[in-house]
A and B are shown apart, each in its own frame.
Chain A
Amino acid sequence: MAQRFPTSVRNLEDLLHRMTNRIRQSLELPEILEATADEMRVFLKTDRVKIYQFHPDGSGEVVAEAINQQRLPSLLGQRFPAADIPMQARELFLKLRQRSIVNVATQEIGISPLLTSSEKESLLSDQFTALSFRSVDPCHVEYLTAMGVRASLVVPILYRHRLWGLLVAHHSLPKRFGNKELEIVQLIADQVTVAISHANLLQLTRLQGKHESIINQTVSYLYSSAKDPLKRALWHVTNALQCVGGRLYLFNPDSNTKGRLIITGKQPAGKQILEQHSAWRVWLRQESSNQVMANLWAISDIKQAQLLPIISEALTRADIRSVLVAKLVHQNQFLGYLSLFRQSVDVETVWAGQLDDSDSRQQRPRQSFEAWHEMKKEQSREWLPREVGLAQDLVDRFSSVIYQTQLYQKVQRLNADLEQRVLQRTAELNKINQTLTQEISERERTLEALHVARDSLKRLSHQNELILNAAGEGIYGIDPKGKIVFSNPAAASLLGYKKEELTGCFMHDLLRHTNAHGRAYRWRQSPIFKTLRHGQTHHVTGDLFQKRDGAQFPVEYVSTSIQEQGKIIGAVIVFQDITERQIVDAMKDEFIAVVSHELRTPLTSIRAALGLLAQNRVEIPAQQQRRMIEIASSNTNRLVRLVSDILDVERLKLGKTVLNKQPCDLSVLLAQAVDEMRAMAEKYGVNLEVSPLRIQLYADPDKIIQTIGNLLSNAIKFSPRNSTVDISAQQIKRSGFAQIETLLSEAGKQAVAEGLKAHPSLLLIAITDAGQGIPADKLEAIFDQFEQLNTSDGEHQGGTGLGLAICRSIVRRHGGEIWAQSQIGKGSTFFFTLPISVEIKNVLNDQAKATKETL
């Protein structure tokens, strides 16, 4: 790379031009510096040109060098301690931009400050200030001599108001550098400054690029969908920052002890998570000296830091020397810590000559500049500002991602939670809805059932009311105290009250409830009370109730308790007036008694007569035997008549006898009846006189003949000998009523009038005897069953006592009426009517017509 340039000073401008170009052609500082040293050595014709760069600690290093044919040894890469160029000298270089030319032979030094200490500005324009020479410091001379240097030229290189380094030309032989050379070198130094500026800019740009690439890579890891992106990103960051290990502690807001730890590479010793330890936070609070940023601590050497034992031990045991801790905060939210660890390193430094620590450097300059390799073991590596900046940038990304992740997870959780809650709530709502639906339908069912029940209740209560109203029986309900709660119209009317009057009355007193024997019950002894008290149903016949007017009447009642859930809450009494029934019953009893008596009477004769005939203990005379046979026979006939009459009456009364009605001629019926009675009439010596009437009627001929026969039989029986029984018949129309009216008794008039109301015309039949007559009070009674008239001698007439009852039944069933009129001592007349209705007449007319035609 060495290029040959013309050495002539004339070509100074060429040189400057060339150098400028070379500097501009390259952006690589070492290359530029190398070129600069080369060109400068050629131009100055010196043995060695070196570019010396200061380190921040004041020591320096040869960073570029050009040597002429080994005339001087190479110092490239060698370090010079700070003491070699003392602080005062460095300050002069900086502040006055002092340049110096040393001539070892003459032991003089030419100094040319570019600026004055008082007026920096004024001197800037006048660059070429004359050199001022003075004697050089013997130490300096000795130093240079030891280096083998006879002449030197030094120009400071300033960069951004700092002493960057020195541009130094050495020559092994005495050489005189003039002002001109000095100015040229100054120009070159200025160019170097520009180059440094460019190079720095480049380096900065590169670093920036690298920085950004690391960030980009990290971010891409952070956002990658691969497994455990945080761990991969952490690993990348650890590598990028040349660390041996890194860890990420993710704080769990819910619990300090549940934080998550992600690690890569070397880790502090011990199982305990340091970040969870209170010492960690205490330490970070106290560690302000190493707090390089708001949330970032960079401890280059933990041995120098004031660490709490628990932390320092954990780190030291793991050979960790440097720690960088960043508190992850995003949006004011603490997320955790990112820590990076470095181990100590061994540092090799090539010194220009071995340093003798025992010697005072001030006292004696070094005699040898032989390269000396110094090895410093277990050195801590400093966290450079750019590294810290990079770390901060990376930490920011981590924070951002972690925050987002947490936020995302939180949102996810919230979402999930929300979904869960929505599901839960939906399920609950569904359940509620279901329950509600069920309830509603149940309610509807209930309501429907209620409606139905209400309707049926209504119907029932209506029916009940109808039943109550329609019932012939008296019905009333009482409460446990015997007070009436409800009653039906029949009950009210049977008792002679209005329904409303009964409500609330104490029934026992109101009814004066009396037993069948006429003794009034005490309330507590009455069957109704027992029903109320014990719930028994009582069915009582014959007790007496009292009406409003005080009249008592026999009743049959049933008292039933009303129970609700086993408790008696009242009673219902159903009663009926049995007055009629008792009468009927009495009549029945009477009838049976009478029938029994009537049957026993002929049987007595028959049994006695036959009994005597049948016995063989005592001989009975033949005449008496004959009498007994006659008695038995006649009483048997009587018994037969009686039985058939009883049956007749009963049949007629019960309507079991069917009338065999047919058109017939009254005169025929009369004739037949009279014929049947003629024998009897002869026996009694009574004449029968019939006034025949040819009239058609519609009737049961046998029954009519039976009726006339009965009446004739009675008439004959009660007629004196040689008297006459008259039988007559006549038709009575409504218009003709007045003509016969006078003949009739009150009962007769009424009967005829009634008959004519119902029918346009009547047939009136009369049977008259000349007997002793019937007392007025018996005229009606004789039509009752077994009612018989006393004869004058009190003898029984042999009748059954049923004949007139039978007659009345037959006549009435034909729509007619029968009655008797009598005058005591003169005789009696029995009348009966038979209706002749229009229909009958028509039937008769038709029949008459038909008869005529056949004739």
Chain B
Amino acid sequence: MIDIILLTGFLGAGKTTFLQRLLKAYTRHKLGIIVNDFGEINVDARLIQKEGMEMLELSNGSIFCACIKSKFVNGLVEMSKMDLDYLLIEASGLSDPANMEKLLEDIQTQTTNPLRLFASVCIVDAEYFLDLVDVLPALAQQVSYADAVIVNKADLAGEEALEGIARRLDELNEGVGVYCTSYCRVDIDELLSHLKGERRASGETTNTVASRPSAFTLRGTERVALQGLEAFLREIAPETYRIKGFVLTDQGTKEVSAVGTNIQIHDWPEDAGETALVVISSVGVRLVSRILSASQTCLEGKLKL
């Protein structure tokens, strides 16, 4: 039996951070990982790459959508052949996991070691959850099908917002364990030993037809000025849900992670080789014009769509 821990949560909520914590906590276990990223480049997979782990990257859509579901199924079947204790699955930010258990039932005859959904952990971004939960159906579904919910980035939300989030979570999934924190600092053993006993019955995923937002990838091989990069990100961030990736700058390679207008730029110790920045639009294709103009103004056109 291989136990699956499924991580859901909106773009930038902290799934990869939590996954990194899980990896640290479970060093003595044999782990397999499936990382599903929304853009055409799997940034999250690079962030957690480690030797000695079985890892599968699934990019450019949701693992529950018809687009790449077959690849996901093949991945699960392949992972079931391995000698693993846990299979950790990081779903993309707009994944709707409603059909996860049904999917596991359907592949029972193909798996070598049986796969069981042990826990579905949803990470909620305290800063943006209330603004988005009624706009993006997948977010409510992620909470509804969770066995535990981490309300992350609590330090960025006020008391009133946290109370509002607690009420909304209770409406969506009454009785689910809620852990309020920042940087996903939770006691993992405690969280996984207090999962909600009864899970909502499998249903239809809203990912079957994609009404997913437009995603664009900026690339470049020339280094850009760090100051220009900051200006560029400030310019486009208000029209995005998420920006993430690696950028070659005059001050070394930087890891960029932005959720809405909350922009973070960190040093990245490795040479990324080339710039690859995934941008997920909140305004449809209109963002293209904004990106092109801001790239010209702030980055001398060195990053291209």
Chains A and B bind each other: no
